[in-house]
């Protein structure tokens, strides 16, 4: 190419004579420039890279998003995309196919805690007998405001759980009470249950028949607790052990386990903060702080100062 250009042949004609496409030639030039580019001063430090690798080694089932969230508790603010690049380079990224959500636009999207609650129950086994896990989840933060393990589900158990949630959240003096999303099962639709909901000044919102997506966030919580707790204990030895194990898991779910729908924050943190605008501001601020720390660390490693290259 250089000889042809020196002889006065234009670049386009030279490429045509050599049988090389223009896009291929310029792509090759761009790759040469990229290869010679200096490493970014904002690149991850070796300690941060090693933290991602060690977390994946200890917990192979964690995705790159969960690893990013868990590492925050250890003082490492590393983005999901950075975790993905590290794991992909090592060949540790595995496909996790999931069914696409059947809904596109949510009908209930609260902007603060205790505006919309979801209530439901699922089964578990204790000493070979079927029991039920009843829960009420806050739609805003995915926080479990009340739960119980019972032998049967009647209007009595549902009413007791509603009162517990009402007291736990201290909403008796709130002007706006939660809208309660639940299915049309007989314990929910019983006269006593509906009367209690009315006395508590809450609004009942029954879902449609055979439409689990009408209470999607509650159902998604049950998928999580089943996969990570209930299915890991095929048969609890006793009710006391089942309650202790469930309490321990819910505490971890609230305060430790990162939640992807909450930008990898925990439900407990989001529930206490109570404002997603403040949540996003906190996220941006922490990312900026970590970038500055990484910048300083990499500059020190490269021997670069604000005035230029040090001697």
Q: What is the pLDDT of residues 255-306, one digit of tens each?
A: 999 999 999 999 999 999 999 999 999 999 999 999 999 999 988 888 765 5
Mind listing the domains of the chain with CATH numbers?
Answer: 2-35 (no CATH), 46-94+275-305 (no CATH), 116-260 (3.30.420.10)
Section 76-98 average pLDDT: 89
pLDDT of 33: 59
Percentage with pLDDT > 90 across the chain = 70
pLDDT at 310: 47
- pLDDT confidence band for 86 (50 / 70 / 90): very high
pLDDT tens-place string over residues 167-205: 999 999 898 999 999 999 999 999 999 999 999 999 999
Mean pLDDT, to the nearest integer, of 74-84?
A: 93
Which pTM does this prediction carry?
0.74
pLDDT at 183: 93
Q: Using H for helix, E for strand and C for coil, what is the string for the chain? A: CHHHHHCCCCHHHHHHHHCCCHHHHHHHHHHHHHHCCCCCCCCCCHHHHHHHHHHHHHCCCCCHHHHHHHHHCCCCCCCHHHHHHHHHHCCCCCCCCCCCCCCCCCCCCCCCCCCEEEEEEEEEEECCEEEEEEEEEECCCCCEEEEEEECCCCHHHHHHHHHHHHHHHCCCCCCCCCEEEECCCHHHHCHHHHHHHHHCCCEEEECCCCCHHHHHHHHHHHHHHHHHHHCCCCCECCHHHHHHHHHHHHHHHHHCCCEHHHCCECHHHHHHHCCHHHHHHHHHHHHHHHHHHHHHHHHHHHCEECCEECC
């Amino acid at each position: 190419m250089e000889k042809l250009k020196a002889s006065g042949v234009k670049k386009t004609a030279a490429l045509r004579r050599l049988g090389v496409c223009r896009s291929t030639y310029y792509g090759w030039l761009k790759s040469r420039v990229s290869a010679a580019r200096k490493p970014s001063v904002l690149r991850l430090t070796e300690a941060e890279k090693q933290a991602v690798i060690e977390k994946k080694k200890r917990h192979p089932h964690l995705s790159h998003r969960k690893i990013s969230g868990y590492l925050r508790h250890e003082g490492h603010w590393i983005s999901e995309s950075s975790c993905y690049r590290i794991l992909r380079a090592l060949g540790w990224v595995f496909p996790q196919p999931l069914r696409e959500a059947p809904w596109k636009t949510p009908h209930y999207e609260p902007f603060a805690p205790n505006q919309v609650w979801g209530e439901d129950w699922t089964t578990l086994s204790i000493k070979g007998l079927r029991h039920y896990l009843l829960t009420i989840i806050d739609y805003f933060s995915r926080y479990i405001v009340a739960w119980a393990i019972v032998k049967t589900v009647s209007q009595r158990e549902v009413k007791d759980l509603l009162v517990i949630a009402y007291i736990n959240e201290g909403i008796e003096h709130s002007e706006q009470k939660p809208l309660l999303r639940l299915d049309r099962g007989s314990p929910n639709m019983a006269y006593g249950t509906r009367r209690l909901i009315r006395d508590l000044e809450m609004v009942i919102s029954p879902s449609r028949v055979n439409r689990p997506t009408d209470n999607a966030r509650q159902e998604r919580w049950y998928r999580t607790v089943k996969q990570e707790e209930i299915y890991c204990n095929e048969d609890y030895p006793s009710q006391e052990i089942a309650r202790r194990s469930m309490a321990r898991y819910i505490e971890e779910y609230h305060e430790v386990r990162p939640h992807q729908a909450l930008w990898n924050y925990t439900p407990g943190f989001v529930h206490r903060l109570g404002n997603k605008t403040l949540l996003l501001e906190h996220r941006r601020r922490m990312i900026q702080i970590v970038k500055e720390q990484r910048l300083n660390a990499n500059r020190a490693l490269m021997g670069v100062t604000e005035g230029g290259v040090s001697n």
